[in-house]
Amino acid sequence: MKLPEDMERDELEDEVAYLRSELGLMRDDDDVAALRQAYPMPRSAARLVLALRAAGQRGLTYQQLDEALPQTRGPDGERQLKVLTVWACHARKALGSDAIQTIWGRGFRISPQGAARVDAALNTQHKRSA
């Protein structure tokens, strides 16, 4: 394991994204509710969007998303990572097809347009409650 002072910027950004995923990246229910009010979508899709927003342009791998979001297991007890693709589809339908970008074979990231829509939805909610 490298010390932070021995790491390049890209390595540090990857490490931050990984550590955020390990911490769960679970957002307050208020943020989930605010996003769903502005853009109706299933709760799981909203959580995926907020996790991607927290990770920024680096995005998250399927494994990082699986750790960050409530575990989804199939009838056999195995993780079903395919459900992440379904949640991303729901998020795209709500936020626009340009909001979530696929990192082919790796995972997803939020686009600048998607991030702006999420930020606007959250800022609107925070202004109302202030």
| Alpha-carbon span 37 to 122, nearest angstrom | 10
pLDDT at 26: 46
How do the pLDDT tens digits run along the chain, 130 residues long? 688 888 888 888 777 777 766 555 444 678 898 999 999 999 999 999 999 999 988 899 998 888 887 666 667 767 678 889 999 999 999 999 999 999 988 999 999 999 999 999 998 755 555 4
pLDDT at 4: 83
pLDDT at 27: 46
| Alpha-carbon span 33 to 35, nearest angstrom | 5
**pTM over 0.85, yes/no:** no
Tell the CATH topology of 8-129.
Arc Repressor Mutant, subunit A (1.10.10)
| Alpha-carbon span 49 to 92, nearest angstrom | 9
Residue 96 identity (one-letter amino acid): G
| Alpha-carbon span 17 to 50, nearest angstrom | 13
* Residue written as token pair 């709760």: 43
